[in-house]
Structure 1
């Protein structure tokens, strides 16, 4: 199958990919912060119910569509002839970071379901610590794509 036609769409595909990633990252930064504030809220309280709505809307309305579109446009970029030098090693690091971000997204999604059921398995301190995970993954991905250290 000749995918050469994708080269003409490269600037649009890359732009849409970056916009999707920015939206996804915003959610990955913000949702754990909501969990930090939700954890001490009394289950069933007005505050807790408000956090549930905010978390659900952020995840379903922004993060899920952004993650899906980031994957679609990113895959399209990878399939565009000449974009990735498959003999280089940097893309392995980027893929590892991307898989880590996807796993983290699903971890946050599972936690949202737990909060929706008034569960509090993890502590406020836990959510403060894992709030740094997206930053580490973002640094890894950006360095792999821009610097291409190997």
Structure 2
């Protein structure tokens, strides 16, 4: 069995799940924020449902997918170090990828923190904010995927 291909495939699947959740969660936050303009009791019912979806999305999909993406990513790094040595970790493409991972994990943490604020009713973010920032994970994904697939250098 080719362990590298298995690790790479599992990593890609985990990242797809992570990205799907990271792209959908801000949309749920936008819908939630926009409920503030609605009249009761419909507002409360919809916000309750949206907040349930937000919590479940984070707990069941986004958090486990991130953990698996990290696990399989570290496995890939381990296999790469065995094949090429550790020098590739300092290559510009890999540094760019790792910075992207750090930024995406930070955005994930921000989204998780905001979910708690939304649930408590203390979030000040608007639907417009969530719609404007919704594509951050995809922009980071473009940078990371192109860095890894091209292995560019100076």
Q: TM-score, normalised by structure 2?
A: 0.87
2:28 and 2:90 mapped to 1: Cα distance?
42
With 129-138 and 77-86 compared, the bigger mean Cα shift is at: 77-86
Q: CA deviation at 1:87?
A: 5.1
- Partner of residue 91, structure 1: 94
Q: CA deviation at 1:123?
A: 1.2
Matched ranges for 1:34-45 at <5 A: 34-42=28-36, 45=44
Q: CA deviation at 1:120?
A: 3.0
Q: Any idea what the Cα deviations from partners look like across 1:107-143, whole Å, max 9, x if unmatched?
A: 0000110111122311111111110101110111011
2:90 and 2:124 mapped to 1: Cα distance?
44
Name structure 1 gaps, 5 residues minimum: 1-6
Q: Any idea what the Cα deviations from partners look like across 1:30-64, whole Å, max 9, x if unmatched?
A: 00011111102149700000001000000000000
Q: Is the 8 A contact 2:89 2:95 kept in 1?
A: no
Name the structure where helix makes up a greater proportion of residues: 2
Structure 1 segments of 4 or more deviating over 4 A? none
> When the two structures are aligned, how many residues end up with a matched partner?
144
- Partner of residue 112, structure 1: 115
2:8 and 2:116 mapped to 1: Cα distance?
33
Q: TM-score, normalised by structure 1?
A: 0.89
Matched, 1:70 2:73: no
Name structure 2 gaps, 5 residues minimum: none
With 65-74 and 121-130 compared, the bigger mean Cα shift is at: 121-130
